[in-house]
Amino acid sequence: MSKQRLLAWIDDCQDSEVAEPVQALTELSTLVGGSPLVREPLPAERAVELAQMFKALGDPVRLRLLSLIASHVGGEACVCELTDGFELAGPTISHHLKVLREAGLISGERRGTWVYYRVEPRALAQLSDVLSIEQSAAR
């Protein structure tokens, strides 16, 4: 990708409100090109960061929680809305949310007695980027 094309893309993003940050980051990843796994070996520090995120998603309950939060209307969900879909105690759900939060996949904001969670688009974009493989690289 040329420096000029990247700068033009950045200008476009700055000139308009980015309504879909995940989509914007995905476009940037596509413009830059290629998966880090295909381009070069991951540095040890980066591998540790990514492994923490993938490990958090390795549990079916946490993967479902992330999906529920991401697909919720408005892009955020109250913890009170997340517990109904599971046959687990509240403290267990809280533990799984804590693991997702510590992995950087979600963030939470306390409003009164409830905590509202939202997905961190940059974290999902990082996971997507590291796994994406261009067709030419996959052959």
Report pLDDT for 1: 47
Average predicted confidence (pLDDT) for the chain: 80
Domain 34-138 sits in CATH 1.10.10.10? yes
pLDDT digits (tens, 9 = 90+) for 60-111: 999 999 999 999 988 899 988 888 888 888 889 999 999 999 999 999 999 9
Q: What is the 3 state secondary structure string of 49-110? A: HHHHHHHHHCCHHHHHHHHHHHHCHHHEEEHHHHHHHCCCCHHHHHHHHHHHHHCCCEEEEE
Report pLDDT for 136: 46
Ranges of each domain in the chain: 34-138
Which residue would you say has higher pLDDT here, 81 or 17? 81
Report pLDDT for 130: 82
Spatial distance between the Cα atoms of 11 and 13, rounded to a whole number of angstroms: 5
Q: Is the pLDDT of residue 27 over 70?
A: no
